[in-house]
Structures are given as structure tokens and as C-alpha cells.
Amino acid sequence: MPLLDILCFPDDRLRTRAKKVNSLTLEHQKFIDDMLATMYEAPGIGLAATQVNRHERIIVIDVSENKADPYCFINPEIISSSGQETMEEGCLSVPETYAEIERADSVVVRYMDRKGKEQTLETSGLLAVCIQHEIDHLQGKLFVDYLSKLKRDRIRKKLEKQWRQKL
Ligand code: NI
């Protein structure tokens, strides 16, 4: 299974708004397997198609301890949310950067699973936070967008310096 390249902030392609998946193909199934392999290898607990430069509404998540409970959400929409929770977040597209972000604690998400079946999931805690973070990616939004411009610019400069050193 080929691993996919992950785009990194401040790459403009991360700002693309993903399009709805109208019909699931065999090629999508392969892509979802590649996304999961890429996420586990990274390692990370969530990955949005946007992060691998494919602009369709697909996300994968696995918040389990033993990495054996993968979720795939296609065309996910949060239909209700409640409560507040602050968690320290990171992102495979913003390496080695963590910040406390406030989000809803519980969400109800409607989506299509990888078999093409419509599903509704009500969840809270880490999985709910992760779903919100990944859906943001599909809208071209990153967790650093919740920080002040000053902090975001500092992160951008730090990462750009790292890239230059790697060239
Ligand atoms: Ni992310």
C-alpha cells in the first residue's frame, strides 16, 4: 500500500474546500486504505483527504489504543453539537506543534460509511474533537486558525525555517 504525501502548513493547497463524494468507487476504497496506512505510519489519529491533496469529503480516524478501530467518514456533516471541551491538539500537517483548542464536547455526525451506508453517530470526548478537527480540514481550516495571528505567524516561521534546513 503506497503511503501518501502529507501537505504541511502553510501550503495553500490545505486551504482548498473539498467536494462531496457522489458515488463511491473501487478506487475510493483503495484510496481509503492508503489514507489509513498513511495515518497509522505517521503516526496520527486522524487524516483528512485534503491533507494528502485530494479534495473530496473523506476522513479517517482511529482513536483506539491498539489502532484496531478505524472509522471512515464520507461526506460528514455535524448536525448538532453541545458542551465545551478544551484539548491539546496537534496535526500531521503542522508538525511538532501543539495548542489547546476549545471545541464542542459532544457531536452528532451524519455521514456515509465506506460501504456506502448512511450512518449517524453520537459521540463525545476525543473522538468528537477529532471529528471536528478533521471536518475543519475539509473546509480548508487548520487548528492554528483558532490561535492569534501572532502565534500562527510564529508557528509558520518556525516550520518554514525547518523546511529550509531540510532542503
Ligand atoms: Ni489535522
For residue 44, report the distance from its CA to the centre of ligand 1, in Å.
9
pLDDT of residue 90: 97
CATH of the domain at 37: 3.90.45.10
Let me know if 134 is a catalytic residue: yes
pLDDT of residue 71: 98
Q: How many structural domains is the chain composed of? A: 1
Q: Does any domain span residue 105?
A: yes
For residue 71, report the distance from its CA to the centre of ligand 1, in Å.
15
pLDDT of residue 1: 65
Q: Does any domain span residue 60?
A: yes
pLDDT of residue 157: 95
Q: Does any domain span residue 86?
A: yes
Q: Does any domain span residue 114?
A: yes
**Rounded-to-integer distance, Cα 61 and Cα 72, Å:** 7
Cell 456506502: give the residue: 116
Instruction: Tell me the whole-structure pTM to 2 decimals.
Output: 0.96
Q: Does any domain span residue 89?
A: yes
The model's pLDDT over 86-104, given as tens digits with 9 standing for 90+, comes to 999 999 999 999 999 999 9
Three-class SS of the chain: CCCCCCCCCCCHHHHCCCECCCCCCHHHHHHHHHHHHHHHHCCCCEEEHHHHCCCECEEEECCCCCCCCCEEEEEEEEEEEECCEEEEEEECCEEEEEEEEEECCEEEEEEECCCCCEEEEEEECHHHHHHHHHHHHHCCCCHHHHCCHHHHHHHHHHHHHHHHHHC
Q: Does any domain span residue 3?
A: no
Q: Which residues pair with 81 in a beta bridge?
A: 107
In order along its 167 residues, the chain shows pLDDT tens digits of: 679 999 999 999 999 999 999 999 999 999 999 999 999 999 999 999 999 999 999 999 999 999 999 999 999 999 999 999 999 999 999 999 999 999 999 999 999 999 999 999 999 999 999 999 999 999 999 999 999 999 999 999 999 998 888 76
pLDDT of residue 2: 78
pLDDT of residue 166: 77
For residue 134, report the distance from its CA to the centre of ligand 1, in Å.
6
Residue in 27, 118, 122, 134 annotated catalytic = 134
In the chain, the percentage of residues whose pLDDT exceeds 70 is: 99
